[in-house]
Structure 1
Amino acid sequence: MDQTIAIITPAFGAEKTIASTVQSVLNQTYPHWQLWLIADDGQDYEALLGSAGLVDPRLRFLASGGLGRGASAARNVALAAITTPYAAILDADDRFKPNKLERAVPALAEHPIVSTALDVMSEQLAHLRYVGRGPDRVLGSSAHKWVNLSMDSMIVWDRRRANGRYDPTMSNMTDLEFLLQLFRTSRTSFHLGEPLHDYVKRSGSMSNGKNVAAGMVASKTTLLRRLESGYYEGLRDEDGEGVAAFLRVSLEAEAQYEAALAAHPGLLFEDHLEPMLLEAREPLP
């Protein structure tokens, strides 16, 4: 039975980080993977990696078909090309822990979507905090975001049981939008509570800036409206409401973040958001 995982990595201006990202895949204890690197900036990443001694037949190289088309368009190029049963997302400045794929594959035998806790790091790769650390557990789609309160590109999924395409019209929150597509056919995900994904917080990150991020607010508002209108056909009302409740709290956190950041310079958005989620006390299954 084929258990190959296609790892999808869009790259734009990634010359300084891509070697570390690719090396983290080469270091995987699970060998059955392909890394699809999609250049969105015209860069020859195959030559760049080759000059660093990073050469492997499992590395695949594509172009997005333009310059600056965006991560969603680049990811969709790969999704149209891959034939593997499993897929995973890895941004060009993030990294996998060595045993991420080895831990994920057994869980995929029972669950179409597998998420992992995050090791949130600075640009200098210093540990900042964990997100989602704790016991391994099954999460209903309504509860997923209450545990995985940061990004959602740490997922690995079975394309035969849950699939979709990224929405290039959205500037932010595209990982959650894609996940909502997967939840149309998958009622649960399995969460690995060990931090297996290095999530690098960039100084220009929309959710880590000094001011309230208009793009984040707009995207969260769009997702909330879609959920409230039944846009994600197949997603049960109670599951959609769980995600909608998370988005309402997150929008409230966005509105208060600028003042909180002024009072506590360097405050991570996750550290600002998490107490508000705890106060909301959304029940988890």
Structure 2
Amino acid sequence: MAETVAIITPCYRAERWIGAAVRSVLAQSWPDWEHWIVADDGADYEAMLAAEGLRDPRLRFVSSGAIGGGASRARNVALDALTASYAAILDADDRFKPDKLAQAVAALGHHGIVSVALDEYDETGRQLRLVGQGPDRELSPAVYKWTSLSMDSMILWDRRRTDARYDLELTNMTDLELLLQLYRSARASWHLGTPLHDYLKLSVSMSNGPGVTEKMIRSKREMLRRLETGFYPMADARGPEGMAAFLRISLRAEETYDDAVAAQPALLFEDHLEPMLRAHPPPA
């Protein structure tokens, strides 16, 4: 019997992007999915998508019960309700490549967590860069962020092997925090080096825009504090040290990013961070 993948999409003022996200799910070569669309703004996304001709019995429409309660809270609403074995995250402004689910489901047959390489775009549709491209391979938590150095909402996981809920205390980096929890039960993850997820880097979002840098720094410092105090025991005992090492480098990158952009306008944070990671490989 084929496994069903539950895809979770929190929606807050997502009218501009949600149609493309849903079309990317409808275009999947793997047919056994259910797409949980969680309204966090009181909008009727079922009617909105129907007006675009997007109807499918596999689409599930629920409400977070709040207005602007946050993506983490909205995702947890779906995670508490769904029964599928496999879970995947799709932000309302991102898209899946057509074979993402098929390739990820095959990998979930042997690993509890799967990540994929990213194809990054800006809101005009201009490709910015690839992240994590290369051979398919196993990644321990100690080295994971040296490959997947950008966002982490492109992961899928087997809820029977490892599961977690989003932390409502953090304002940013919540996908990485979820991954830290998942690694408590999963010794390693499998990385698909083919870009199978389109990540849209908006000028204003949880990851970009005015005031975001300060929020990112606070969240990174809190996760680092937790790692250093044993809050995240992992199946691979080296995992916390490696994740902590990444966060220290990432915090140094945050501190120097403004000066780097002043010298090189339009510099992506990933392009600023990546050479710093190469200069400081993960702990052996």
- Which TM-score band applies after superposition, normalised by the shorter structure? over 0.9
Q: Distance in 1 between matches of 2:53 and 2:223?
A: 42
The corresponding residue for 2:30 is: 30
Shift of 1:233: 3.1
Written as runs of structure 1 = structure 2, the 5 A alignment for 1:18-97 is 18-97=18-97
Question: What is the DSSP-based 3-state SS (H/G/I as helix, E as strand, rest coil) of the residue aligned with 1:213?
Answer: helix
Amino acid at match of 2:259: A
TM-score w.r.t. the length of structure 1 is 0.97
Shift of 1:208: 4.4
Q: Distance in 2 between matches of 1:249 and 1:129?
A: 21
The corresponding residue for 1:251 is: 251
What is the aligned length? 284
1:11 partnered with 2:11: yes
Shift of 1:115: 0.3
The corresponding residue for 1:115 is: 115
Q: Distance in 2 between matches of 1:120 and 1:265?
A: 18
Gaps of 5+ in 2: none
Using a 3 Å threshold, how does the CA distance of structure 1 residues 267 and 132 change in structure 2: closer, same or farther? same
Question: What is the DSSP-based 3-state SS (H/G/I as helix, E as strand, rest coil) of the residue aligned with 2:189?
Answer: strand
Q: Distance in 2 between matches of 1:51 and 1:207?
A: 30
Question: What is the DSSP-based 3-state SS (H/G/I as helix, E as strand, rest coil) of the residue aligned with 2:101?
Answer: helix
Contact 1:208 1:268 in 2 (8 A): no
The corresponding residue for 2:154 is: 154
Using a 3 Å threshold, how does the CA distance of structure 1 residues 211 and 79 change in structure 2: closer, same or farther? closer
Two-structure CA RMSD over aligned residues (Å): 1.4
Using a 3 Å threshold, how does the CA distance of structure 1 residues 255 and 228 change in structure 2: closer, same or farther? same
The corresponding residue for 1:196 is: 196
Using a 3 Å threshold, how does the CA distance of structure 1 residues 107 and 135 change in structure 2: closer, same or farther? same
Contact 2:4 2:84 in 1 (8 A): yes
Using a 3 Å threshold, how does the CA distance of structure 1 residues 232 and 43 change in structure 2: closer, same or farther? same
Gaps of 5+ in 1: none
Using a 3 Å threshold, how does the CA distance of structure 1 residues 236 and 109 change in structure 2: closer, same or farther? closer
Written as runs of structure 1 = structure 2, the 5 A alignment for 1:144-223 is 144-205=144-205, 207-209=207-209, 213-223=213-223
Q: Distance in 2 between matches of 1:197 and 1:74?
A: 21
Using a 3 Å threshold, how does the CA distance of structure 1 residues 280 and 264 change in structure 2: closer, same or farther? same
Shift of 1:174: 0.2
Amino acid at match of 2:239: D
Runs (4+) of structure 1 moved beyond 6 Å?
none
Per-residue displacement from partner, 1:90-143 (whole Å, max 9, x unpaired)?
A: 000000000000111111000000000000111112111000000000001111
The corresponding residue for 1:264 is: 264
Q: Distance in 2 between matches of 1:205 and 1:249?
A: 23
Amino acid at match of 1:187: R
The corresponding residue for 1:231 is: 231
TM-score w.r.t. the length of structure 2 is 0.97
Shift of 1:207: 4.7
Identity level (%): 60
Using a 3 Å threshold, how does the CA distance of structure 1 residues 173 and 235 change in structure 2: closer, same or farther? farther
Q: Distance in 2 between matches of 1:80 and 1:256?
A: 40
Amino acid at match of 2:189: S
Using a 3 Å threshold, how does the CA distance of structure 1 residues 64 and 210 change in structure 2: closer, same or farther? closer
Per-residue displacement from partner, 1:130-169 (whole Å, max 9, x unpaired)?
A: 0000000000111111100001110011000010000111
Shift of 1:211: 7.6
